Structure 1
Amino acid sequence: MEKETDNWYSSWFDTPYYHILYKDRDHDEAELFMNSLTSFLNLSKKAEILDLACGKGRHAIYLNKLGYDVTGVDLSPSSIKFAKQFENKKLHFEVHDMCQTYPKKFDAVFNLFTSFGYFEHEEDNLSTIKAIKEELKPNGYGVIDFLNADYVAQNIVPSETKVMEGITFHIDRYLEDGYIVKDIKFTHNDEEHFHTERVKAITLDDFKAYFEKANVTLQHCFGDYHLTKFDPKTSTRLILIFN
């Protein structure tokens, strides 16, 4: 049985199995979101964007295709190694911990697809928002695309089985100590694997408290990738735009 490290995301995100399990993510939806978001923010084609926790770079690559100068950073060396094959003069990838301030200023900093709230230590959530503030140019915008914790709690699917590339993933979901937890078990090449994802169930009020401490101002709050108004009961996402 494969063992967890304290920082579960450091090990799980760096395995090939993570990318196999989530390979069916909706790229059309992601592109729609990037089109809507960059249009709403009225970013010029010369804008520089930082994609925090970029994974293998699907958002960063598409933003670059739209003409933007994009830097993608992630804690996973294997994800960054994969993404680097797409680099060009206006697209760069680097291993970086988003809790730490990246040494450059940007017109926009995006943290997408629930790439927040993983940390073992509560202070790292606040540190990340403070880092985003430091990474913004004057009049720049930070964006956090998070799950709607209230909606998830009311609509959680306790168990699920997914077969991806011949691997059967057994998934159990539950709420525990303020976290949304997902246990993932599977066997491959006669070896049993077990990973646990833990995401803090951060609500809009929690984010407002972070923003106050980080001295940033919430400007807009949306509830899905079409940028419709956020409703705590029915919205699937919590998309926050701040500066």
Structure 2
Amino acid sequence: MTEWYEKSFGEDYLLVYKHRDVQGAVHEVQKMASWLHLPRNAKVLDLCCGMGRHSLALSEEGYHVTGVDLSDVLLDEAKELDQDKAVSWILSDMRRLPVKDREYDAVLNLFTSFGYFTKDEEHIKVLQEIYRVLKPNGRFIIDFLNPDYVQQNLVPESSRESEGQRIKERREIENGYVKKEITITSLYGGETRHYHERVKLYTLDAFKLMVEEAGLCIDQVHGSYDEDRYEPEVSPRMIFVGRRPREH
């Protein structure tokens, strides 16, 4: 059976999420760099890099960047944007990375590219892979949604038009997941396309337990790229900054 994330990150994803701009990625990368304190030329893995906005911005900041994603469509888009061939692009599942142990100074997992699976064990596998590929004392950032904020601010339905297409999005919280159903219809006729997205809503404490089980440590939790502190009721994000501990 095809999982939702194998179908949803194709050509239509580029249409639905084209409002995510390069300038925003530059601002976020500069903020992340201030949190991570990485030296120039550090090796950074952008895990679930999508169309590569952050990978390319990281490269511009002077890091050696590898972008990993499961979508060949999004990776093709990233490669097209990467005119200088500055980034290494890898097609891979996030649970099984074709990467050496202790290869990277930092791993980034951004914009809720986590929580896609149904079992906690699968999410822990991702965290274990982050642990495995990090150097001792290597740093990580996992940028996840804040479930309290999602529950209070969920927009059940929205509709807009873009590039001759009508995009309808329906959202609900069900059985511990936030779910989105996307319907795309051409304004000029033709088949309607349907996509689903599903992310498990982990609380702060539940997330911390999984991170600890994978052997990682959390040093800070930020509420957004403009906030220093995470506030459970008002922060839109839970951005975890942590590390793989040094070995004794």
Q: 1:24 aligns with which of 19, 23, 29?
A: 19
The percent of aligned pairs where both chains have the same amino acid is 40
Match of 2:112 in 1: 114
In 2, distance between residues paired with 1:108 and 1:127? Answer: 18
In 2, distance between residues paired with 1:172 and 1:59? Answer: 28
Unmatched 5+ residue regions in structure 1?
none
Q: Which amino acid aligns with 2:56?
A: I
Match of 1:213 in 2: 213
List aligned pairs for 1:54-69, cutoff 5 A. 54-69=49-64
Q: Which amino acid aligns with 1:100?
A: R
Q: Which amino acid aligns with 2:193?
A: H
Match of 2:194 in 1: 194
In 1, distance between residues paired with 2:147 and 2:2? Answer: 23
1:82 aligns with 2:88: no
Q: Which moved more, 1:87-96 or 1:222-231?
A: 87-96
SS in 2 for 1:113: coil
In 2, distance between residues paired with 1:68 and 1:88? Answer: 14
In 2, distance between residues paired with 1:81 and 1:6? Answer: 21
Q: Which moved more, 1:139-148 or 1:94-103?
A: 94-103
Unmatched 5+ residue regions in structure 2?
244-248
Number of paired residues? 238
In 2, distance between residues paired with 1:129 and 1:170? Answer: 33
Match of 1:100 in 2: 96
Q: Which amino acid aligns with 2:208?
A: K
The answer on whether the counterparts of 2:118 and 2:200 sit within 8 Å (CA) in structure 1 is: no
SS in 1 for 2:94: coil
Match of 2:246 in 1: none
Instruction: Calculate the TM-score normalised by the size of structure 1.
Output: 0.93
In 2, distance between residues paired with 1:123 and 1:6? Answer: 19
Q: Which runs of 4+ in 1 moved over 6 A?
A: none
SS in 2 for 1:190: coil
Deviation at 1:102, TM superposition (A): 3.9
Instruction: Calculate the TM-score normalised by the size of structure 2.
Output: 0.91
Match of 2:29 in 1: 34
Q: Which moved more, 1:194-203 or 1:115-124?
A: 115-124
In 1, distance between residues paired with 2:218 and 2:83? Answer: 33
Match of 2:224 in 1: 224
Cα RMSD after superposing both structures: 1.5
The answer on whether the counterparts of 1:102 and 1:131 sit within 8 Å (CA) in structure 2 is: no
